[in-house]
Amino acid sequence: MKLAIIGPPGSGKGTYAQLLEKKYHLKRITVGNILRKAAKKDKKLEKILDSGKLAPHKLVNRLLMKNIPKDNYILDGSPRRFEEAKSLIKNNQIDKAILIKVSDKTVKLRLKGRLQCPKCGRTYHIKFLKPKHDRICDYDGTKLEVREDEGVIDERLKVYRKFETPIIKYFKKLGIIKEVNGERPIKVIFKDVEKLLKD
Ligand SMILES: [Zn+2]
């Protein structure tokens, strides 16, 4: 299974990727984390990421090539651009995509209060997805950090919507995309996701 999970920031796609990773033993490839790691040695890239803009697609493709195993993985955070989607298809790196549909209003509500573990990249929320201990990662005990400010949230959402439509159209034409209503409880959505995987 070569999966990609697509959705706006705050759609919960990271959460579903984590659940799929656990249940189906898929390798979860968090493209954002890979880019953050690369940005430690690349000031220009760091600036791009901090502003909420997208990394150059050639760089993303190169990093994906290095990090994607042969099979059984889930991409979280790619494709973000149309060129990226085309390259994934060309290189046979994806056979199904799941789109988590969420409105702008919901995205903004959810993103305020989002926490992330700087060590493993897992995400939490002060209201919707609390860690077991206040601001501490359940998985590795690292202190969680607040994810992003409002200006960056708006920019990321704008950038996401711009590229969402052409990517979805392209994947629809290929018949590899399934849509899920992301504005319901996590358990209900995950059940739907599992059903779609078996289709
Ligand atoms: Zn952690």
The domain segmentation of the chain, as residue ranges, is 2-105+157-198
Which among 8, 1, 48 is positioned nearest to 167, based on CA atoms? 8
Domain 2-105+157-198 listed as CATH 3.40.50.2020: no
Which among 135, 198, 193 is positioned nearest to 11, based on CA atoms? 193
18 Cα: distance to centroid of ligand 1 (angstroms): 12
68 Cα: distance to centroid of ligand 1 (angstroms): 21
Q: Is a pLDDT exceeding 80 seen at residue 18?
A: yes
50 Cα: distance to centroid of ligand 1 (angstroms): 21
Confidence of residue 51 (pLDDT cuts 50, 70, 90): confident
199 Cα: distance to centroid of ligand 1 (angstroms): 33
194: region left, alpha or beta (phi > 0 left; psi from -120 to 50 alpha) = alpha
More confident residue, 148 or 98: 98
Q: What is the pLDDT of residue 121?
A: 87
Read off the pTM: 0.80
167 Cα: distance to centroid of ligand 1 (angstroms): 31
Q: Tell the residue number behind the tokens 């409105």, with chain if given.
A: 103
For the segment 129-154, the average pLDDT, to the nearest whole number, is 91
144 Cα: distance to centroid of ligand 1 (angstroms): 8
The first and second tokens of residue 101, run together, are: 């549909």
CA distances from 19 to 52, 72, 103, 159, 198 (A): 26, 14, 22, 26, 16
CA pair distance 41, 37, nearest whole angstrom = 8
